[in-house]
Amino acid sequence: MSPKAKPYSLGRTIAVGLAIAASFAILSLFFLYLQARGNLQRLAGEVVAVSQVGVSVQNARGDITAVTVPLDAELHGMASFRELEPGQHVMIRGRILDDGTFEVDRMRTLTEGPVR
């Protein structure tokens, strides 16, 4: 290293620090974008009715939500949502549509109900 080289000069230290801070800021924005893009909501409750296009689910507060099940929905613990019977408990991930119905992305049946 030459005697004129200043590896720890103030200007270089500030530049490296700003570059690191900018890198973390860009990385944080990227993860926020990924989180917002996959924004799914959850619904858990007891099946109260089954129809041709979906089910009605009552949550722990007593609110009943109409749930539609598209053909590409992931169903765990059942071959078809039509196998569900009133009284079974389900956990659902999906999104709320403009008309207030809940569209399923993933649905899972539970073997036991909630602990009361």
Q: Are 65 and 57 in contact (CB under 8 A)?
A: yes
Measured distance CA(87)–CA(66) in Å, rounded:
15
pLDDT of the residue at 17: 93
User: Does some domain include residue 77?
Assistant: yes
Give the number of domains in the chain.
Answer: 2
User: Does some domain include residue 64?
Assistant: yes
Q: Is the pLDDT of residue 115 over 60?
A: no
If you ran DSSP here, which 8-state letter would residue 62 be given? S
Give residue 91's domain range: 41-110
Query: Do 100 and 47 lie in a common domain?
Result: yes
Nearest 10 degrees: Cα torsion 40, 44, 47, 49: -40
Query: Do 24 and 45 lie in a common domain?
Result: no
Q: Which residue has the higher pLDDT, 16 or 34?
A: 16
Q: Are 41 and 94 in contact (CB under 8 A)?
A: yes
Q: Is the pLDDT of residue 49 over 60?
A: yes
Lookup: tokens for 21 = 């801070």
What is the pTM assigned to this prediction? 0.61
